[in-house]
Amino acid sequence: MTGLVRTCLLVGLVIAAGEATARAQARIDVPPDWPPLPPRNRYFQLIPYIGIHSYWGQAAANVGTGLHIGGMIGSRLGDLFSINGELTLDVLDVSGLPQVEKFSELDFSATVSPLVSVAAGKIDLAFGPKLGVWGATYDQTSIARGSGSGTFSGVDFGANFAGFTQVRSRLWVGGLASFDLRTFRKSCFTPTDGQSGCSTRDLPAADKVAALSLLLMFSI
């Protein structure tokens, strides 16, 4: 009789231990229903881009599609707004000139380019104005216009439109469309055999430049 009692007690202890183990395993397998962590704030962003440009208007007579490179660096003010500095370089592709003539030009701009961001599903859309200065340096060989080198400078204002999608925790990829209106304020020219001179009168009409680029955005 005593052996039977001991056996019953042992079986009971085994059953109780099994139930306790099952309850513990259930606690491990089923995670607590914690609320999701809030999204991490981002404070800094770097946006390099490369693409092509197209000149419109009077300045586009002999200018084809050319290389457009640049980037923005800035600080985010919350989830919707960022203030950025932007640098851009445009390499002009000039064609259609007489065989004896040559022309090459590099345009560069430095602008303040704020962006407003709007979420559209998994894509972030951003847009904003840009305002700053621009300059150009050129070399030419021409019978009609003279041979030498020169510079232009003026005011640049326009707009940016971008779309991003996140591919890593701190990396986004996307595209950028931009438009610039570059007004002329000063023109200087140095003939090959002569003295340089500058003018603020009788300047060309404003350049109109549209560009499409691929971009990366690093944001932390």
Q: Is residue 83 part of a domain?
A: yes
More confident: 26 or 50:
50
Which pTM value belongs to this model? 0.79
Looking at the fold, whether 57 and 150 belong to one and the same domain comes out as: yes
Contacts of 133 (CB under 8 A, 6+ apart): 109, 110, 111, 153, 154, 155, 156
Q: Is residue 39 part of a domain?
A: no
pLDDT band for 62, please (50, 70, 90 cuts). confident
What is the per-residue pLDDT across 137-177, written as a single tens digit (0 to 9) for each? 999 998 888 899 999 999 999 999 999 999 998 999 999 99
How many Cβ atoms sit within 10 Å of the Cβ of residue 178?
24
Question: For the domain that residue 72 is a member of, what is the CATH number?
Answer: 2.40.160.20
DSSP H or E segment with residue 20: helix 2-29
Looking at the fold, whether 2 and 20 belong to one and the same domain comes out as: yes
CA–CA distance, 39 with 71 (Å, rounded to integer)? 26
Looking at the fold, whether 1 and 72 belong to one and the same domain comes out as: no
Question: How many domains, in total, are found in the chain?
Answer: 2
pLDDT band for 5, please (50, 70, 90 cuts). very low
Task: Provide the domain limits for residue 109.
Answer: 44-219
Looking at the fold, whether 48 and 136 belong to one and the same domain comes out as: yes
What is the per-residue pLDDT across 68-119, written as a single tens digit (0 to 9) for each? 999 999 999 988 999 999 999 999 988 888 888 899 999 999 999 999 999 9
Looking at the fold, whether 15 and 118 belong to one and the same domain comes out as: no
